[in-house]
Structure formats: C-alpha cells, structure tokens
Chain A
Amino acid sequence: MIRRFSGTNIAAALLLIAVLVCCETSQAQNTREFVRDNMVPGRASQIRLFGNPRLAQRLQPVRISSPQGSELSIVSNGSFIGTSASDYSTGMRVGSLYRFRLSTVSEQRAVELYPSIELLDVLHPPKGLENQFPIPVTISESDIRHAVAGRMVSKVIYLEDPETSLPRTTAPGSQATIDISGADDAVRAAESLGRPMAILRIGSRVPTREELAATDQNAFRSQTPETVQQQSSRPDLKANPEYPAPSFK
C-alpha cells in the first residue's frame, strides 16, 4: 500500500492539485464573463466585487440625469428624500444596489418610477479630477415612456473603447444609446463595444406601502445603501459607514 504512494506519485498529485487551484483562481478573477443583465438586481455588481474586492474601497461619482421637470429622490434614513433636481450626482460603490425615485410627468400624467443602479466598474481619472468625470447615467423620456407602458428597460452604460468608437458628436445632456433585441444580453453587447460600467433598470411597478415601510429585505430597499451626495468642495467622497456589507444570498 505504501509503495503505491511513492514519491513520484505524490509529486504528480501535488502538481495536479496546484494546477487545478491555479485554473480555479484565474477563473475567479475574471468574473466579468459571469455577469448577465437578467440577473437579480445587485447580483452582477456583487459578482464583480467578488472578482476584485479592491473595488469596494472606491467611491465612484455617478451623475444621474433625467428629463427636465422631473425630480430625483434618494434614500436617506430609510426613506426617499426629494432633491428637487433632475440632475443629481452621488457617490456609489461596486457591490451595492442603489434605488432611487423618479417623479415626473409622462403623457400628461404624473408618474413615479423606482429605477435602480448597480456599478460594475470604476474610473481612474488623474488625481484631483475624480469629481469632474462621473459616470453619466441618463434617463431619457423614451425610457420613461416605455416604463410607464409596462415594459422593463435595462440600460448598460459602458465606457467606449477609443479604438473602436465612432467619430460622432453628442448633444450635451444626451447619451448615445444602442437598442438591442430582447433576446440579446445587454452586458455582452456593451462588452463588445467597451467596458460596462453600470446597469440601470427601470420598471413600472410601484412599491406598496408595506414594501416601502418594511425594514427587512424586500425588492425595493433591501440592499439600497444611502447614496452619498457629491460635493465639489470636498474632493474626497466619504462613504456612509452604515453601508451594508455586500453579501451573497
């Protein structure tokens, strides 16, 4: 019996185990390929954080833009607080799902939508310019119209690859958008064009009072940490220490 476990066999077995561990580790590092747009909101961001835990230390400025006349409300102290603005900059982290409220008028009807944002990556601007280059998340009137009509709008905001980007000019406040089929994966499509940075989801379901008031986990506020308002006078954004630590269910 002992002869069967000679030195050569043991060395080969150890080498085999080492190779398998290395393969497994390399796969875990590249988590981007596991991300899909039809995952449970927040899961894609958590997978990205799992692949690169250092992303949790970075507070990424995000600028949310909605049509003029609408109002964005962010979560603060467990409730939505209006900002009286249609253009709002916040600090977000990879690994969390951020829910906010959008109050607007669509087709002569006052509506409230509850979009969500999750970050997939962060930017690396030169020092001191962090707040000058936030990730722009633009909600167009078309998005609102589709959501109010009962559809689910998923937008993957990506950083264009300068090697393949088109020489186009974009009007200020607008964002170039490519529509894909419902059968396609938006994250995969964005990855082929650049680096996916964030996922925006807009649906039309209005949360019930119980869901809004509930303190336990629910679909609307469960993993929603408080957004950190970005202030230009303060270059280094600070996260709320009460952020819930992202965790897998």
Chain B
Amino acid sequence: MKPCRILIVLVVAVLVMADSSVDGQVLRRSASADSGVPSVNLPVVESPQGFVLKKKAPKLQPPKPDRNTRAPAKTIHRPRYAPRHDRGRFSPIPKSPATEATTAIFKATDRELKSNKNAKPTVFVQDAVILGAEPMVDHHTCDSCLQSPCACNAAPWTDSVVPQAMGVEVLVPAGKQLRFRDEYLCDGGDRKKPVTVDERFNINGADTEDTFGHYDTLDGKRIVSPSNRVCVYAPRFAAVRKIEGVFNARLNQRVTAFHDEQVLNVSRGKDFSSSTKQHVNTNQFGGSNRASGLETKTRGITSDQAVTLIGVRNSFSPYENLDLVKLGRHSSGETARLQLGMQSANVWQDNLGLKVNVKGAQPVIVNDLSSAQQLVVIDSDFDTTLRVTKLASRIAAESGEEIEFTIRFDNLSSKPVGNVTIVDNLTGRLQYVPGSAECSLKASFIEKPNAKGSLVLKWDIEAPVKPHKGGIIRFKCVVK
C-alpha cells in the first residue's frame, strides 16, 4: 500500500472517530443497551436518612438482611434499529419494546387459556392500555399498535435500560425522554439512583421527586415499589440582566482577604519598652457565600411528632373519582379520565411508562402519552406486588397555584403485605400545604426537610394490607 493511501485512510479514520465522539452519547446509549446494563452516570444526590422506624410487623417474620435488595435488572429487549427512513440523522431509533410486550401478553394469555379451560386470562389488554398522544410531539397516533407491530411514526426512543425496582421485570418504552423536560414539573417514580430500604428501614437513594412504597412480604422480603410519574406543565421564568454604560469602566471587586501584617506598637522610652501591644489584623474575611436558596421551611412537625391520620374525606374530587382510586380496579371506560389525571401533562420521563401486571390479579395501568399505544409489562417474579398510582388534580399550573395529589396503593397479590410505607420526596418547586395530608388507612404521617428545600412525606401504614385491598392518600402542594 502506498504511503499516500495510508495517509488518506488514517485521516478518514481520525475524522470518523472525531465525529463519533461528538455524538458519543448515542454510542454510549447503544452500548449500554446491548449489554443490558443501565447507563447510570448520574450525580449522587444525598439521600434522606434517618427514617429508622421501630415498627411491629404483626404476623410477619422479620425481613432477612440478605434479601432486601431488589431483583437484578433484566434486559428484555435489545434495541433494534428502525428502517433507515425513520432514523434521525445520527441517532438510531430502536424499535419500541411495547409491541413485543403486547405480543408476549397475547401469547401468555392464549397459552394459559389453552392449557386450562377454566382459567381466566390474567391480563385484559383492552383494559391495560391507555391511549393518548403528546400534543406537541410530531408523531401520529396509531390505533392498530395493539394488534400488529406499530408502524406509526412514534416519538424517538432512547434505549437506556430502566433501573429495576420492586423486584419485577419491567418492559418499558425504554428510557423514553421527555422532549421539553424543562417546561414541566414532575413528581413521582424512582429516578436516578434506585431506592433501597435496608433492614433498619433506612431509605437510601431517594432522590427528589421520587414517590414509592415499600413493604415486607411473608417470606421476609422487603420490596420497593415506585409509583408512576406525574408531570404538570408549570414553566417558570427568570431573567439575566446586564447594564452597560459609562460606569461600566469601573471594576468593582470584592475584597477577599487582607494581608496579614502584624505591627508592633512603638516602644516607649529609650531603653526598652515595658510592654508591647500586638495588633493582629483580620487576616481574612469569613466566607461570604451567597445564600444557596435552599430555604428550609420546617412546618413544626418533626419526625418525633408523628401525627396519626385516621381518616380520609368521604367525597372524591372529579379528577380522582375513578374506580381505580375508589376500588383499585381499572375499567376501560375511565381510560381517558385516568389519562388526564395521571399524566397531567401528557408526558412521561425516562423510565416509567405503561405497566401491566401479568401475574397479579389485575393489570397495572399507568399512563403513557408521549408514546401512544405503547404497552409495558411488569412480569413479577414475586408473589406479591404493591401497585402505587399517583394522580394530580391539574395538568398545568402557574406559580402560586395549588395542586392536589392522590396516591392509590393496592396489594395485588393473594398474600398480605406488612410494614407498608409510602414515601413522596417532593421536588423543590412543590411546597406542601400543612395539614392537607389524608390517608384512608390508619397510618402515622411524618414530614422531614429534604435536600431541595421541600419536604419528604412519609406514611407508615400500621396494619398489614390484606390481599386485593389498598388505600388512598391525598395531600396538597403549592407550586413555587
């Protein structure tokens, strides 16, 4: 090979590598998806500690320390590249796993029905899907996605694998990203670092915006179950101001330190001084950091002052007057209203999408609007599952307006679960309205400041939750 050819090939190779490094995010994502390992490269946020509870778990064995972690993540789908005409310029669009999930559900249901004529299908797909469309995303809705591979132009996926929670196998529209995340105020789910609860009930990895429940099973497992993610359209604006003029030539700089000059006092007398004074100047200013803005607003209720909630109001607000909230049972006729309340702003972020519980008594349904007709399956390896559903009363809010959140939790298994705790780590832009928390079951309520200047709300359900039973939690927040 001639030297000129070698040189050309080398130049081309360097340029190709440089271009790849520009789009390195895409490459990393693909690699992580192929290996099945979530690409978690996120800053570690200090997790609230100190939730040490001395609870009694009636009729339940103490949890075993070595089994308190969640089940290992499993890669269900390897991303496949979309046809070329559907690709973006640089980032390949992997095919949504929802289609295959749907197919798997049908197959599983059919198999079960064929093997046992008396068996009932555990999944009702018509109930399990909530249709919707993110209004501002350029894609078409496609009603035939449930029956055949979806050929509609869905929003582009990213193929990061969802952190597995609560020990269940999750198929999601993998790592679906909200396109205009900065315009929404989201709360719920388990983002960034996965939440874990140790044997002493210390909660680790609870980032702001996380909402989850954890519980103990009869066989000693401690499982974390995140809720769905609720997003409210609430953009907030600020301004950066620059004033230019003649005075701008003057450079104002703050004094950061003095020289450390020690001056002896003048000696008195010719012989020697009888005494000296040593004036020590200030050698440095104290730190003049600006306020970080993490305003701590303690409501006067600490963890020692747990308030026992004994009831919930009898009436249901329009946004939550659903069978899913009242009875823990979803009916397809309420799909549209549930969709409105759950997403509250037509979008989901990252790792949570539509969920269907296969082995439970009922399908678990959450909303997924930015990818219409996408189906996500939770195939639980455990015998018990706690479903946590979160709804918001508004789809959009301005600063100062009030939002009411409703959390419905259900034990979908045939065995009781104990030590049930629901935790909501509020984002910094949500200010909890004191005294607005309600719970339909007898529970102790604890609020504690978090790292974002808001609160961590925690409900400890006192009695074990019986099979196919659940409860409702309500609270209000003001948008900052």
Complex: A11 Cα to B345 Cα, angstroms: 50
- Given A152-B245, A167-B454, A182-B242, verify A124-B180 contact (CB < 8 Å): yes
Contacts of A25 in B (CB 8 A): 89
CA distance A157 to B239 in the complex (A): 4
Q: Is B233 an interface residue (CB 8 A)?
A: yes
Contact A146 to B240, CB < 8 A, known contacts A8-B5, A126-B396: no
Interface residues of B in 1-48 (CB under 8 A from A): 4-5, 8-9, 11-12, 15-16, 18-19, 22-23
Alpha-carbon distance between A156 and B239 when the two chains are bound, in angstroms: 5
Q: Are A176 and B239 CB-contacts (below 8 A) given A150-B246, A152-B245, A169-B480?
A: yes
Measured in the bound complex, the distance between the Cα atoms of B236 and A242 in whole Å is 33
- Asked if B400 is at the interface (CB within 8 A of a chain A CB), the reply is yes
Question: How many angstroms from the CA of A125 to the CA of B185 in the assembled complex?
Answer: 12
Q: CB of B72 within 8 A of chain A?
A: no
Q: Which residues of A contact B345 (CB under 8 A)?
A: 126
Contact A9 B8 (CB under 8 A): yes
Q: Does B255 contact A (CB under 8 A)?
A: no
A120 within 8 A of B: no
Q: Which of A73-81, A193-201, A205-213, A228-236 contacts B (4 or more CB under 8 A)?
A: A193-201
Which residues of B have CB within 8 Å of A135?
237
Contact of A15 among B12, B240, B248 (CB under 8 A): B12
Q: Are A16 and B15 in contact (CB under 8 A)?
A: yes
User: Please, how many angstroms separate the alpha-carbon atoms of A26 and B345 in the complex?
Assistant: 31
Select A150's contact among B179, B185, B245, B395, beta carbons within 8 Å: B245
> Does A109 sit within 8 A of B, measured CB to CB?
no
Closest A residue to B345 using CB positions: A126
Q: A189-B240, A195-B182 are in contact. Are A167 and B294 (CB under 8 A)?
A: yes
In Å, the complex CA distance between A136 and B399 comes to 13
**CB contact list, B88-106 vs A, under 8 A:** 89-90
Say yes or no: A19-B429 contact (C-beta < 8 A), given A126-B345, A162-B182.
Answer: no
Task: Give the distance to chain A from B132, nearest Cβ to Cβ, in Å.
Answer: 11
Q: Out of B19, B180, B181, B295, which one reaches A19, CB within 8 Å?
A: B19
CA A169 to CA B398, docked complex, whole Å: 12
Does the CB pair A126–B293 fall under 8 Å?
no
Cβ of A12 under 8 Å from chain B: yes
The answer to whether B237 touches A136 (Cβ under 8 A) is yes
Query: Is B346 located at the chain interface by the 8 A CB criterion?
Result: yes
Residues of A within 8 A of B247 (CB): 151
Q: Is A161 an interface residue (CB 8 A)?
A: yes
Which residues of chain A are within 8 angstroms of B11 by Cβ–Cβ distance?
A: 16
Q: How far does the alpha carbon of A34 sit from the alpha carbon of B15 in the complex, in Å?
A: 23
B238→A193 contact, CB < 8 A: yes
Chain A residues positioned under 8 Å from B428 (CB to CB): 165-167
Is the pair B12, A129 in contact by a Cβ cutoff of 8 Å?
A: no
Interface code B349-379, partner A: CB below 8 Å = 1, 0 otherwise?
0000000000000000000000000000000
Query: Does the CB pair B19–A23 fall under 8 Å?
Result: yes
Chain B residue at minimum C-beta to C-beta distance from A37:
B242
User: Cβ of B229 < 8 Å from any Cβ of A?
Assistant: no
Complex Cα–Cα for A177 and B235 (A): 16
Contact indicator per residue, chain A 95-130, by CB within 8 Å of chain B (1) or not (0): 000000000000000000000000000011111010
**In the bound complex, CA of A249 to CA of B459 (Å):** 63
Q: Which B residues are in CB contact (< 8 Å) with A127?
A: 135-136
Q: A12 to B182, Cβ gap below 8 A?
A: no
The reply to whether A167 and B295 form a contact with Cβ atoms under 8 Å apart is: yes
Can you identify 8 A-B contacts, CB atoms within 8 angstroms? A9-B5, A22-B19, A23-B18, A23-B22, A132-B396, A162-B429, A167-B452, A186-B242
Q: Shortest 6 CB-CB distances between A and B: which pairs?
A: A151-B245, A166-B293, A167-B453, A127-B135, A167-B428, A182-B248
